[in-house]
Structure 1
């Protein structure tokens, strides 16, 4: 809903949206609903995106991308995207649902590698969910004050829904304190990711490159992914099979999702 509000409030019929081909469905749906021209670029391909931006003379340009891709676990080249948007006077909407609270110092998310002035860039719009690392529900959008005022006035999924409960806001404040102050959770998560990747290397299936808690094990065929899913469930282990249309044909996988609540024993039992 936050992506829908942001995209549809900021662009329309006279504008153009550029989107990574592996973006989350909410970004794609938002682009379609905005009625802007919708152009996709190959996954993480800044060279193609640059050429696409050079060719457009649209009134307003918006680049939308996941920061951490939900099915592959890899990350967007945020600094490169932001540089292109500055060069071509385009907006960058970054969906950091899987990075916020997990990546970077104090869990600051996928912007951690940027300089402070880059994080405050007027071209940048930052969205993150509160239903993953923060452990509650909902989402937020951070941007320059004029952008936020525009979303408040024109974001339909913000204006035409029930307000969040005060209890949720209070719980979230505690979550933010834990995220900022308890770095041991991120350190534990990093250890588990390294252990899992090391343990899974000998397996016959391809482990996609990912340094995030999303660790996809590529099986190729859907039947194989389902077979492994069911076999693991019989052992009391939940690792869901992901199949087309969620992922492309021939790219079925097991989507392993780690959290700081897992233990090394859990990792060894899985692998």
Structure 2
């Protein structure tokens, strides 16, 4: 039984996909043949990592009592949030090399929870790392922050996954940022609508992650970038909430949406958004 505060514990902590996913015999054979071509002298087999095989450092920080119910320091939660899903990330996990996991993983359930977390983390000089589905391949969720901060906390938004409103007349919908791609599309399907944004990470990535990284939908044609589909964005920052207005169009000054799109967690934590539908 995995100890975790997460509601999704069926994913591998060390690599891509679900924990019970296995390659077919034909796929394993193809990999072995490719391996012999790349390394005729042979290689060293690597076993599937187990949680007990990692020597994790103790958390460096002490959270206030009021926030402890939101925070986890279990091995599964810390390791799952230690890296993204690049080839280098997975190889390091296979080598049992995770020297800089987050000190804690936070699982806020409301925007007020996020506000309280950011207030504590700013006060105690702790790095806040927004975490959606953890599919980053460029180090965006890695909590290796050096000695500049007293510690690092990964803030996982998986509980902020509600469908707030669907407007079939305007062909728009309002979602919390932690909703995963399949759940978002399943909510729209009964209305005959779709966001039509299908990045390669679709099954394990979130709306907030798409917006924060300016994701492209590689499995769709025509409108493929999330930029084209966003109507308004809301985020929590260390200085309070920030949101853009939902307007049909505007040419008045700087676009707040464009500041938040692709911000990669540097401005704050995206909590919800209105999106255009097809």
| TM-score, scaled relative to structure 2 | 0.29
Larger helix share, 1 or 2:
1
